[in-house]
């Protein structure tokens, strides 16, 4: 069950992490809305992928950071991957017709899943890699 405190922590961490790469306060309104929509979708975790993955983590990994903080870290990573892919699509000189012919359906879901796996790998590695743990903590801080 996600309460408001959990959501607030996740949102703060997600913003902090994403802000290290993309100046979040300078995003156009359309991108702010996209970020907010993505945040709401991933925090809801309707498919249970995040919760199941968290539950499968070794206790030693779970003790490194709180679940809410890690949820925010994952959401920021998904946002950055989605932003990168969106920029690549925008930079391609494809016409709208060529873009509609390409397979972009499901891109968000695949990116979110890939980001989640990557984040879990990083957290597991941080158990024995102090540099990785320090890096995670630094990027999540204000």
**What confidence category does residue 21 fall into, taking pLDDT thresholds of 50, 70 and 90?**
confident
Structure tokens at 104: 């972009």
Q: What is the mean pLDDT of the chain?
A: 88
The CA angle 116-91-37, to the nearest 5 degrees, is 40
- Could you give the CA distance from residue 47 to residue 42 in angstroms, rounded to a whole number? 9
Least confident of 13-22, 54-63, 78-87, 132-141: 78-87
The number of distinct structural domains making up the chain is 1
pLDDT tens-digit profile of 67-99?
A: 999 999 999 999 998 888 877 777 776 555 555
CATH number, domain with residue 36 = 1.10.3440.10
Q: Report the chain's C-alpha Rg in angstroms.
A: 16
pLDDT tens-digit profile of 44-53?
A: 999 999 999 9
Query: pTM for the whole thing?
Result: 0.87
| Domain housing 76 | 4-140
Instruction: State the pLDDT at residue 100.
Output: 54
């Amino acid at each position: 069950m996600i309460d408001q405190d959990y959501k607030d922590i996740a949102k703060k961490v997600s913003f902090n992490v994403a802000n290290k790469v993309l100046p979040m306060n300078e995003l156009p309104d359309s991108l702010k809305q996209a970020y907010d929509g993505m945040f709401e979708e991933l925090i809801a975790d309707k498919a249970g992928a995040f919760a199941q993955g968290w539950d499968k983590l070794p206790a030693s990994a779970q003790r490194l950071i709180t679940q809410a903080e890690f949820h925010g870290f994952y959401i920021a990573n998904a946002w950055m991957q989605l932003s990168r892919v969106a920029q690549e699509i925008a930079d391609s000189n494809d016409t709208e017709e060529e873009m509609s012919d390409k397979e972009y359906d499901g891109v968000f879901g695949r990116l979110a899943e890939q980001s989640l796996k990557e984040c879990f790998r990083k957290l597991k590695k941080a158990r024995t890699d102090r540099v990785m743990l320090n890096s995670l903590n630094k990027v999540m801080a204000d």
